[in-house]
């Protein structure tokens, strides 16, 4: 239950990893974050992509340990209590969290570490790691976003409706981020992310 969990500010103490850097990639569900990430990792295998932990069920084709670590709610709550997450949040009825130790180790070893996470988690990271670079991916329009979510055809109708509602809230927070990139043409958006990271 949400009430019995510690607050979502487990990353409250200021931590200053160096010399690597945390990159936070956020944007509404269906905007193309996963697609952009895959392409980015192909071009830059030196990046470290943080595999999150979730209580959501795997979509067809998703692999445990690659896309996510899929675990039960009770196990997730246990990990929260043990302080194992750098940040965590509830999204559309499921929990999602970033494993603390793996990420901090990679940052300490000098890597650019990319977290692909939703808004509440991104806010936690930005307050704990002011040196993190935060990027918000915007859709060309809400209509196009809905098309993409439906086109993915992997979420139940009720989840699609929730994700669209949440998307509108998230998009309003885009200005909080260091950089905003519209994912209209994939290649153009990818180049813009590259220019932000390496330019």
State the residues that interact with ligand 5GP by CB under 6 A: 29, 33, 52, 56, 87-89, 91, 96-98, 116-118, 120-121
Closest CA to 124 of 161, 85, 181, 170: 85
Min CB(127)–ligand ADP separation in Å? 23
Min CB(56)–ligand 5GP separation in Å? 5
State the Cα–Cα distance between residues 150 and 75, nearest whole angstrom: 31
Distance set, CA 61 to CA 46, 71, 98, 159, 162 (Å): 25, 17, 21, 18, 22
Nearer to ligand 5GP by Cβ, of 132 and 199: the residue is: 132
* Interacting residue with ligand ADP among 142, 186, 191, 195 (CB under 6 A): 186
State the Cα–Cα distance between residues 196 and 194, nearest whole angstrom: 5
Please answer whether residues 55 and 76 qualify as being in contact, where contact means their C-beta atoms are separated by less than 8 angstroms.
Answer: yes
Min CB(156)–ligand 5GP separation in Å? 12
Nearer to ligand 5GP by Cβ, of 84 and 87: the residue is: 87
């Amino acid at each position: 239950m949400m009430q019995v969990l510690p607050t979502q500010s487990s990353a409250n103490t200021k931590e200053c990893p160096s010399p690597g850097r945390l990159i936070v990639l956020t944007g509404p569900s269906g905007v193309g974050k996963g697609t952009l990430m895959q392409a980015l990792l192909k071009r830059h295998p030196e990046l470290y992509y943080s595999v999150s932990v979730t209580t959501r069920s795997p979509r067809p084709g998703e692999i445990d340990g690659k896309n996510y670590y899929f675990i039960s709610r009770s196990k997730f709550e246990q990990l929260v209590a043990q302080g194992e997450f750098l940040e965590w949040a509830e999204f559309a009825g499921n929990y999602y969290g970033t494993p603390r130790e793996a990420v901090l180790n990679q940052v300490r070893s000098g890597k650019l570490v990319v977290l692909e996470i939703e808004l509440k988690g991104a806010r936690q990271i930005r307050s704990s790691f002011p040196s993190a670079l935060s990027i918000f991916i915007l859709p060309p329009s809400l209509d196009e976003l809905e098309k993409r979510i439906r086109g993915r055809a992997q979420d139940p109708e009720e989840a699609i409706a929730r994700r669209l509602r949440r998307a509108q809230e998230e998009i309003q927070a885009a200005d909080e981020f260091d950089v905003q990139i519209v994912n209209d043409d994939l290649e153009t958006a990818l180049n813009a992310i590259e220019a932000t990271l390496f330019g």
